[in-house]
Structure formats: structure tokens, C-alpha cells
């Protein structure tokens, strides 16, 4: 696995100018802040088979309702349809090869078309595609219609690490780097342990999100295209420079879930994992405070209460009216000299 990734890394290093040099010096990732403002929460260790790859075929166990819906659709109707169609085509092919072989048919049939069969083999695939498209489009609609967000996180892909900003909680930012193995770190440097997660997936700073709350991820990139992907949430979205993409998650099960950058983004593409830890709201607030942020609701207590409005004042605020910007053509029209009305004069003279 590592050798394939390293091979890919060298190929991509050759494709991206300057990437080879950066890979050699390994100087891209900034260090995480050394000291936190308050003691951090106790992070949980991963559960085997949940949120981590375990060698199985197919999808990981889903921990969001939307992910479960997608997994049910994939493992149910889609796989059954695939299997039935594959077996049907295989049997038909084998039967045709045997029944119409040259040995049994010295005089070959001259049949060139059959209208009924042609109608059937056109209409049936169309019906199958429609049967797949309707639930697929419903699923996409559910993915792209997020409920109002409780927490917003801005995710930025960098060569080759992730940064996460919490604008709803004071705007603090954390930098997340992959943890190296014990044999790879210098003395005094933090190495991966099994409590952090599996090799190539464990990170020094996890994204922490509250359990059962709608979390909106605004995803972008600082350099090249990355992809923010967490299989247990059924989430994968590109991080494009200069563009904000959006996805959302509502995870009901506490735990830690791992993902990776899923877009070939340069020499160390294989070394920018993602770890999301789902914790109860109280722990989330404690974690936010430990990072120097403000738990939601705490900000309201800090801001002084507004002076009571006079009795005559309106109780509801009127929606501000949007002023239309003056049209650029307007000034152009007023300064443009008027065209002489030659045609009209001519008609008057004649």
C-alpha cells in the first residue's frame, strides 16, 4: 500500500512543478500550536470496524441517516439489479454460443431483425434506468437540501494538510497533520499511537463536532484541488481553490471517523488524512473553549443587553429594502449626443 502511494507521489511530483522539491524537504506542513488555552477533552480511541477501513468489500457502516439511506439503496436495489442483469446477460450469451454454434447450424439463419425483440431491448433498459434514476435524484436532492446548520466549519485543503476554522465559535482555526510512526519521528516529537487511529489515518488535530447536530462544512483549497471525504458519513466533496463547496453532516453516534484527501493533489497526497470526532454537546463546548473559541450561546452572555425600546417603537424590524444600483447605461444614455432626426425632416420636405 505504501509503496503504491509512494509511487503515485513520485509521479505526481513529476507532474507538479516544485512538488518534488517540497516533497524532499517535507516543509509544507506548519506545526500545530504548542500550548492550548485550557485542558483539552479526553479524545476517544477508534472502534474496530466503524469509521475505519477494515478490509471489507463494500461501504463502511454509515453513521448518518443520509449515509444509511445511500448504503441501503446501494446494497439493496442497485446490487440486486446489477447481479440479475449480469447473470441474465451471461446466460443469454452462453445459450446463444451453444444453440447457434456452427456445428449445429451448417446452414446459418438469415434473420437480420425482429421488431418485437428490438422494441423490448430498447424499452426494458430505459425502464431500468428510470427505476434507478428516480431514487438517485431523490437522494441527491436530500444531500443538497441541508437543514439549518447548528455549527459551521470552514475546511481548507493545503499541500499537504488540512486546516479547519470554526466561524460560529469565535473563528479559531486548527491545523491538522498526519501523525508519523514512532520510527519516523525525532526525539520529543509526537508519534502515532493506536488510540490516535490506524497508520496513515491518525492525525494530531481532529475535527470535533457535536453529536446529533447539523454541521455544515464549507470546503475550499489554498492551492490545488483536494477532496474532503469521510466514508462513514457518505461525504465526499472537492476542495477547489477560489471556490466554496458545501456539504453537511448530522452524526448521531459518538466516535471517531476517518477519511482522506480523495483527489490526487501532489507528492504527499496520500498523507493528508481527515479525522472527525463526534462528541456530546457539553464536550464539544469544552473542546471549543480549550482551543480558545467561544461556545455558541456564550457569546450572547458577553454582549451587553440592548437598551429597552420605547413603547411606541415597532416590535418587529422591517426588512431593509434593497436599493437598486444605478444602471451604467443610464449615464451613458444621458451624455450620448442625440442622433439628428434626418429621416423625419426628409419626409417632411417631400
Minimum gap (Å) between residue 57 Cβ and Cu ion:
26
Q: Which stretch of DSSP H or E encloses residue 278?
A: strand 273-279
Minimum gap (Å) between residue 261 Cβ and Cu ion:
3
Minimum gap (Å) between residue 265 Cβ and Cu ion:
3
Nearer to Cu ion, 161 or 284 (CB): 161
- Edge to edge, what strands does the sheet with 226-230 contain? 207-210, 273-279, 255-261, 226-230, 235-239
Of 210, 172, 164, the closest CA to residue 290 belongs to 172
Minimum gap (Å) between residue 327 Cβ and Cu ion:
44
CB neighbour list of residue 169: distance below 8 Å, 6 or more residues apart: 151, 288, 293, 294, 295, 296
- Radius of gyration in angstroms for the set of CA atoms belonging to the chain, rounded to a whole number: 30
Nearer to Cu ion, 60 or 156 (CB): 156
Minimum gap (Å) between residue 244 Cβ and Cu ion:
17
What whole-number distance in Å separates Cα of residue 126 and Cα of residue 265? 38
- From residue 175, give the alpha-carbon distance in Å to each of 31, 163, 172, 206, 250: 8, 4, 10, 9, 23
Nearer to Cu ion, 46 or 273 (CB): 273
In 3-state terms, what secondary structure has residue 173?
strand
Minimum gap (Å) between residue 226 Cβ and Cu ion:
3
CB neighbour list of residue 120: distance below 8 Å, 6 or more residues apart: none
Nearer to Cu ion, 19 or 251 (CB): 19
Residue ranges in contact with Cu ion by CB under 5 A: 226, 261, 265
DSSP 27-63: --SPPPPSS-SSPPP-PPPPBTTBSS--S-SSPPPP-
Scanning the chain, the segments in alpha helix (DSSP H) are 2-15, 19-25, 65-73, 79-99, 115-143, 281-290, 298-302, 328-335, 342-349
Nearer to Cu ion, 180 or 226 (CB): 226
Nearer to Cu ion, 210 or 266 (CB): 266
Nearer to Cu ion, 29 or 265 (CB): 265
Nearer to Cu ion, 255 or 270 (CB): 270
Minimum gap (Å) between residue 100 Cβ and Cu ion:
53
- From residue 174, give the alpha-carbon distance in Å to each of 103, 143, 171, 302: 73, 27, 10, 24
Minimum gap (Å) between residue 55 Cβ and Cu ion:
24
What whole-number distance in Å separates Cα of residue 272 and Cα of residue 226? 10
Minimum gap (Å) between residue 242 Cβ and Cu ion:
16
Chain centre distance of CA 178: 19
Nearer to Cu ion, 178 or 261 (CB): 261
DSSP 211: T
Amino acid at each position: 500500500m505504501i509503496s503504491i502511494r509512494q509511487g503515485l507521489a513520485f509521479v505526481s511530483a513529476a507532474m507538479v512543478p516544485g512538488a518534488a522539491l517540497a516533497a524532499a524537504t517535507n516543509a509544507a506542513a506548519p506545526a500545530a500550536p504548542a500550548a492550548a488555552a485550557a485542558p483539552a477533552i479526553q479524545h476517544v480511541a477508534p472502534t474496530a470496524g466503524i469509521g475505519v477501513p477494515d478490509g471489507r468489500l463494500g461501504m463502511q457502516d454509515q453513521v448518518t441517516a443520509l449515509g444509511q439511506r445511500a448504503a441501503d439503496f446501494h446494497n439493496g436495489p442497485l446490487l440486486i439489479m446489477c447481479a440479475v442483469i449480469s447473470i441474465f446477460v451471461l446466460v443469454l450469451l452462453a445459450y446463444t454460443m451453444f444453440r447457434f454454434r456452427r456445428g449445429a447450424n451448417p446452414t446459418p439463419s438469415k434473420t437480420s431483425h425482429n421488431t418485437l425483440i428490438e422494441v423490448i431491448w430498447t424499452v426494458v433498459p430505459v425502464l431500468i434506468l428510470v427505476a434507478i434514476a428516480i431514487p438517485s435524484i431523490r437522494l441527491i436532492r436530500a444531500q443538497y437540501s441541508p437543514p439549518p446548520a447548528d455549527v459551521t466549519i470552514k475546511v481548507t485543503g493545503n499541500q499537504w494538510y488540512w486546516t479547519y476554522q470554526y466561524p460560529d465559535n469565535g473563528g479559531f482555526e486548527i491545523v491538522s497533520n498526519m501523525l508519523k510512526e514512532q520510527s519516523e519521528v525525532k526525539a520529543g516529537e509526537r508519534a502515532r499511537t493506536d488510540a490516535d487511529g490506524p497508520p496513515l489515518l491518525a492525525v494530531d488535530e481532529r475535527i470535533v463536532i457535536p453529536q446529533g447536530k447539523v454541521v455544515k462544512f464549507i470546503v475550499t483549497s489554498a492551492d490545488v484541488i483536494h477532496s474532503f471525504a469521510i466514508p462513514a458519513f457518505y461525504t465526499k466533496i472537492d476542495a477547489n481553490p477560489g471556490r466554496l463547496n458545501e456539504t453537511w453532516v448530522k452524526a448521531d453516534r459518538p466516535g471517531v471517523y476517518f477519511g482522506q484527501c480523495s483527489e490526487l493533489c501532489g507528492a504527499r497526497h496520500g498523507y493528508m488524512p481527515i479525522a472527525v470526532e463526534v462528541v456530546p454537546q457539553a464536550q464539544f463546548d469544552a473542546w471549543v473553549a480549550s482551543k480558545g473559541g467561544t461556545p455558541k450561546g456564550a457569546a450572547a452572555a458577553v454582549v451587553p443587553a440592548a437598551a429597552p425600546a420605547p413603547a411606541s417603537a415597532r416590535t418587529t424590524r422591517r426588512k431593509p429594502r434593497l436599493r437598486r444600483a444605478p444602471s451604467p447605461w443610464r449615464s451613458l444614455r444621458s451624455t450620448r449626443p442625440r442622433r439628428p432626426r434626418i429621416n423625419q425632416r426628409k419626409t417632411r420636405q417631400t
